[in-house]
Amino acid sequence: MGSESKSFDFLKEIGLGSSNIGSYVNGQWKASGSSVTSVNPSNNQTIAEVTEATLQDYEEGLQACSEAAKTWMTIPAPKRGEIVRQIGEALRAKLDPLGRLVSLEMGKILAEGIGEVQEIIDMCDYAVGLSRQLNGSIIPSERPDHMMFEVWNPLGIVGVITAFNFPCAVLGWNACIALVCGNCVVWKGAPTTPLITIAVTKLVAEVLEKNNLPGAIFTSFCGGADIGQAIAKDTRIPLVSFTGSTKVGLMVQQTVSERFGKCLLELSGNNAIIVMDDADIKLAVRSILFAAVGTAGQRCTTCRRLFLHESIYTNVLDQLVGLYKQVKIGNPLEKGTLVGPLHTRTSVENFQKGISTIKSQARKILTGGSVLESEGNFVQPTIVEISADAPVVKEELFGPVLYVMKFQTLEEAIALNNSVPQGLSSSIFTQRPGTIFKWIGPRGSDCGIVNANIPTNGAEIGGAFGGEKATGGGREAGSDSWKQYMRRSTCTINYGSELPLAQGINFG
């Protein structure tokens, strides 16, 4: 497994070798595409090789998945929940090596890597309970001797296309719910995190095999844009969940909509924190640090814009700059590291281009702004003083860059928060209840996630996750997100001998 094979021994615990097959089709590992390299972003050295799927592999997988759906949807929901419970137990047994793999291949620090795998486990636990609560409503009928109610049934197959920054947690948001709702899952993992896709699939496959269920209930592919496009175009897949950029998400949405399919989109975020004059400054500064530099700024919920009340502007900024200068940047698997590498060399190039643009528009770069000299993809977390009118502030630079701006009134701060195309996450720091309720009310934040006195990132699985505007409008994970993975039928049954019509119509 490359020159660092000794430090990669844990990969054997999760079924990975130096060469790996990158698609699980009809209960078998097979792939006939080209070989790609999984790279460690800390040093850009090879971790392992993966053979990707072709469109021929995809078609074979979808045919088998379509057949498996006929079996899976007829299994009672609580029994499906039992299978998901076992998947959660399988993941729990491999929590540490899977977390290490996330850290190694994606680049996030070990605590975050383990936390990501824990998120799938939590989703499995959540879905098990949900499997006994897929309830429809009973609706009073205006007609005598009639019963009207809702019935929820599976869609059939759910396609899940995930991104590199959360290479397995987002699968959990979708797959755990989709499975208990009676759907088969087709997963295309991120092209740059194929080992995570394979390792998670292996555990799911073992559970299905142990229970004598068709392996095609869960089909996965490592591959490029051609596989993603095939999922988007495929009329056998009624629902496609896509996580990625707004640009690509719009193309996916258009393709799926052309065939009257449904989309769940989790796209770009340009998230803001507002710090009011009465805020707990210590709490705010700690939250901003995690929100802005966690995962090296590569979360969709990363804080990218910071609005500080003019009365506490200097105090907060001085503390924040001081903390930034103490942040340990380095190998994400090493104890004490808070910021790992950007995921790819392309990410570093985008960071450099972004900083160049920022320099032409910003008032001042207070700290950071440079690429570190190393074999890996390390950059300095950056704080920028800038005008809210600067064009670059409206865009999402996917890295640890924080734009800082000053405001005078709550109304001004809310307007600034809402002034960007994206609408994912937002948070305000204040101790005034009235301010909080204005913030979460109809004239407050226009985001899908609206927090108070916590960071913009680190969402719990119990709530529906997603955003508005250019973030895509999708909702995944908790609350009533499950309804998107099923089709609703309104059923009316006449148990009498007369035929009264609705609205009092007399027809002959």
Q: Which positions are catalytic? A: 266
Q: Are residues 303 and 404 in contact, defined by beta-carbon separation less than 8 angstroms? A: no
Sheet of strand 184-188: strand arrangement? 28-29, 23-25, 218-221, 184-188, 157-161, 239-243, 262-266
Residue in 300, 296, 291 with CA at minimum distance from that of residue 246: 300
Please state whether 368 falls in left (phi above 0), alpha (psi between -120 and 50) or beta. left
Q: How many CA atoms lie within 13 A of 455 on its CB side?
A: 20
> Token digits for 366?
């207070």
> Token digits for 222?
């490592």
Helix and strand numbers, DSSP H then E, in the chain? 13, 24
CA 349/CA 344 separation, integer angstroms: 9
Q: Which amino acid is at 435?
A: T
Dihedral of the CA atoms 209, 214, 217, 222 (nearest 10)?
70
CA 257/CA 407 separation, integer angstroms: 41
Q: Which amino acid is at 314?
A: T
CA 276/CA 290 separation, integer angstroms: 19
Tell me the backbone φ, ψ of residue 294, rounded to 5 degrees: -55, 140
Q: Are residues 446 and 474 in contact, defined by beta-carbon separation less than 8 angstroms? A: no
Q: Are residues 455 and 303 in contact, defined by beta-carbon separation less than 8 angstroms? A: yes
Q: Are residues 34 and 226 in contact, defined by beta-carbon separation less than 8 angstroms? A: no
Q: Check the CA dihedral 80-86-90-93 and report its sign.
A: positive
Placement of tokens 């009092």 in the chain: 504
- Give helix 110-130 / helix 77-93 axis angle, nearest 10°: 160
Q: Are residues 105 and 47 in contact, defined by beta-carbon separation less than 8 angstroms? A: yes
Q: Angle at Cα 446 formed by Cα 127 and Cα 270, nearest 5°?
A: 85
Which whole-number Å values give the CA distances from 275 to 71, 286, 312, 429, 467, in the listed order? 53, 12, 8, 5, 22
Placement of tokens 């899908």 in the chain: 448
In this structure, the chain runs to a length of 508
Pairing of strands 303-309, 28-29: unpaired
> Token digits for 153?
């049934």
